[in-house]
Structure formats: C-alpha cells, structure tokens
Amino acid sequence: MPRRSAFWVAAVVSLAALAVFEPRVTAAPVAVAIAVLVWRWPAAALHVAAFAALAVRPSLDVFSERRVGVGPFALSPAVAFGAAMLWVALVLAARRRRDGLRTWTDARLFRTHVWLFVAYGIGVYSGWHWYGAAGLSQGVRELVRVASIVAAFLVVLWWIEANPQASGRGWAYLVVGTLVPIAVALTQLVTGQGYLEGDLLRISGTFSHPSNFAQYLIPFIMVAVAGSAASPAMFRALRLGWALGLSLLVALTYSRTALLALAISLVLLPILMAARTGRRGLAQGVVIVALVGALGWWLAGDLIRARFAGVNLGVVAWEEARQGVSENSFTWRLITWGGLVRLGLLHPLVGHGGGMTTVLNPMIEEGSGLPFSAHDDFVKFFVETGALGLACYVIYGIRLCAWTLGRARAAGSATAPAAYAVTASLLSLMFFTAGVAELAVNTAILHALYGMLAVLTVPPEPTAPAPPLRR
C-alpha cells in the first residue's frame, strides 16, 4: 500500500512539474478520466454530449480570437470543446463496436463524408509537401476541426437511435442554444457595444462576426416558417412571430450575404415542398413566405436598403476590381478572389494545403494583423486543396444535399416541414450563395445544421412480424 501511494504521489508531482513547462500535458489525465466515464456510462455520456453539441456550442465562439502570435493549435473554449467531442465520439464508437453496433447506420451518409475527408486529406498532404511542418500543422488543424463536427453529428445520431422519442428534446436543446446568442445580441444593441464598423453598430451575439450570427439564425427562421402552415392558429402566430423576430436580428447584423441567403431559402422552401404538398400546398407556402417577406420588409426595409445602397454590381465594379481599386465590399471580394485564384494556379492540382489561405493571402485584416480568409468556400478549397480537393468538396455537398432532400421526402407529416426547411437552408448557404457564406469555415453553424439533420433522422419504428398463415 505505501508503495502504491508513493507511486501516485510521484506521478502527480511529475505531472505538475511538466505542466509548468507545457500546460497542455494536463489534458492527458482529463482525457483518461473522460474515457473511463464514457465507457462506464455510455447512455448518460450520449445525452450530455448531445446537449453540449446542440445547446452549448453556439455560445463559445465569442471566447476565441485570431491575431498575430496565436498558433494553429492555440487553446480556446471552442477548440477544447471540439477536441473533447471528438474524443468522446471515438470512445463511444469503440463501445458501439464492442456491442455489435455500427458507427455509421446509413451507408449512403458514410460514403458522402468519405468525399469530405478526402478533400481535407488532400489539404494535409499538400501543406506538408509544400511547406513542411508549418503547412502540416495547418492542415491537421482543419482536418481535426471538421472531424469534431462530424463526431458531434454522429453522437446526436446515436442518441436519437437509442431513444427515438428524444427527437423533440433535441429540438428543444437547439432552441435553448439560441437563447444566449440572442440575449448577448440584444445586450449589444442596447448598450452599443457590438461589432463596430466605422459608425455602424452590427450585432454579432456570441459569434466572432455578425455575418456568422445571422447565418446561424437562418435555419431556425426557416423551420418556424415551414411549420406554420400545419400549426393551429395560436401556434402559427407564435411561429411567425419567432421567425419575424429572428429576421429582424438578421437585418440588424447588416450582413448582405445572410440577407441574400435568407431570401433564397424562403424562395426555395415552397418549391422543394411542392412535390409533397401539391399545387394547393405550393400556393399556401408562397402566401406564407410572401407574408413573412412583406412583414420583414416593413420592419427592416430601411436597414436593408441602406446596407445594399453602396453595392455596385455593374461594369464599373468589375473594371475597378481589374485595376485593383476597391470602393465597396463586392469590388474588394473580386480583388481578393482574383489574387487567391492566381495563388492557387501555382499548385492547381492539390493546392497549397489546408488552412493556408489565412497564411498566404496578401490581403491583411487590420484588426488581427492576419491575412483574410477567402470569403468564398469554392475559392478556399481551390487554393488549399486544388482542383482535386475542390471536386471532392462539391461532390460531398451535392451528396449531402441530396441525402437531406431524400430524408425530407421520406419524413412523416410531423417532421417533413422542418426537414424541407433545413434542406432549403443548406442549399442556400452551400450552393445558391456561390460559396460566399463560407459555410465550410463556420464551425458553429455547421454544428447547428448537422444537429438539425440528426434530430430529423428518427429511425423507423420496428414493425411487428406478420402472423403465420394457417393451413
């Protein structure tokens, strides 16, 4: 017994001494403790992890930052959350394998994500090939970030699989997750302490940028609008009121990309639902969408007009971009994309490496002192993973949207409206805004969208076997 006590004392003292020089060493015993707890109580671990993925993650971006001197593996609450979620999912996957359960219950969904990981794998290889350890670290960080998002998706899927009745609770957790970001946004609006862009106050909630906050709200608006048609009068009014309130918050972010994505989502929704609802349902959907749009314009039309007033999409803007002169954000984006495409053409097949856009971009962000992001997913993937990686990402996106639409068409009457709403949001943010929404780098938004997909994927109830035929 004294020897065992001496061993533990020595281990604790050694760990404390190592932590003085490298604080991240303390993560090792924490990881062991988490693994033991998850293995011992997998059902409770699933519930806690699902709640964290659906309700906690949206509040963490505010604690992260990008600035000179902060490396790719700098610890922040969002990074710690992602690492913990990935670790919990790995332990749960091992436990499921031991119990004879599959990690991916849908083979089509698994094949879809193979394309995603191939794209990021190309980024890891190219970063290491061209830039050595520095490029490898950037690529690995991106790969781990995406793996943590998919891990959270699988955790929620497993939770729903074990208890299909938890789907409603999952939606409740998603709504709970909006409360802190909305409360912070309203506080910013009242106190004037939000994201300042010159004299313009843009609310951002708990997100790192107003545009991210606005895009996060879009699927919640769409779910509220989609479900209003089949709701009783009182609940219909509540749903539409919720949708209008969130739409006003989107307008107060002054995000042109988010306003465009919301408008496209509203147009897509009745079109996607038409095959299920028929002409009458299509007409009803168009009326509801038009009503929401008209009320939203009445509430925030002046804000929207003011935000789009200085945007020039004509010949002058293209000429200014060709000359390298920026008078508005559209021209600035054209200049940035032109420079990044030329950079990507230096390594057109496999790109420069995952995460290298924010290392190599010559356009520097004044606040952080770091290069800007690509401001477009397709440009980002071309620069970082070349034509091969870009093709893999596009295939992944098409397959994921097709899978989501298939789930919506197969859903029951109670869940179909929400499923179509999430499909419209995903299509808009990923493709119909031409990648400008930067969905691929907005981790919290991906958590929300994947969480919605997971709670919508309720396994069918087992059917009772047919009685034997009597002879």
pLDDT tens for 331-349 read 777 778 888 999 999 999 9
Q: Residue 18's pLDDT is what?
A: 47
Q: Give percent of the chain with pLDDT exceeding 90.
A: 52
The answer to whether position 86 is within a domain reads yes
Output 260 or 428, whichever has higher pLDDT: 428
Q: Residue 29's pLDDT is what?
A: 76
* Domain total in the chain: 1
In the block, tokens 């804000």 appear at 303
pLDDT band at 165 (very low <50, low <70, confident <90, very high): confident
> In terms of C-beta density within 10 A (0-12 exposed, 13-18 middle, 19 or more buried), how is residue 114 classed?
middle
The answer to whether position 341 is within a domain reads no
Q: What is the pTM of this model?
A: 0.86
Please, what's the b/e burial string for 426-461 (b: 16 or more CB within 10 A of its CB; e: otherwise)?
bbbbbbbbebbbbbbbbbbbbbbbbbbbbbbbbeee
The answer to whether position 397 is within a domain reads yes
Strand, coil or helix: 234: helix
Among 237-241, 361-365, 373-377, which stretch is predicted with the lowest mean pLDDT?
A: 361-365
Among 96-105, 323-332, 446-455, which stretch is predicted with the lowest mean pLDDT?
A: 323-332
The answer to whether position 93 is within a domain reads yes
First-last CA distance in the chain: 73
Range of the domain at 85: 26-65+74-309+346-456
Q: Residue 470's pLDDT is what?
A: 44
Q: What is the pLDDT of residues 392-440, one digit of tens each?
A: 999 999 999 999 999 998 888 888 999 999 999 999 999 999 999 999 9
The answer to whether position 323 is within a domain reads no
Strand, coil or helix: 196: strand
Please say if the pLDDT value at position 39 is more than 60: yes
The answer to whether position 328 is within a domain reads no
> In terms of C-beta density within 10 A (0-12 exposed, 13-18 middle, 19 or more buried), how is residue 216 classed?
buried
CA distances in angstroms from 292 to 219, 269, 298, listed in the order given: 15, 13, 10
Name 470's Cβ contacts closer than 8 Å, sequence gap at least 6: none
Please say if the pLDDT value at position 353 is more than 90: yes
Q: Which of 2-6, 120-124, 458-462 has the highest mean pLDDT?
A: 120-124
Q: Residue 6's pLDDT is what?
A: 58
The answer to whether position 8 is within a domain reads no
The answer to whether position 33 is within a domain reads yes
Report the alpha-carbon angle 165-168-169, nearest 5: 90
> In terms of C-beta density within 10 A (0-12 exposed, 13-18 middle, 19 or more buried), how is residue 96 classed?
middle
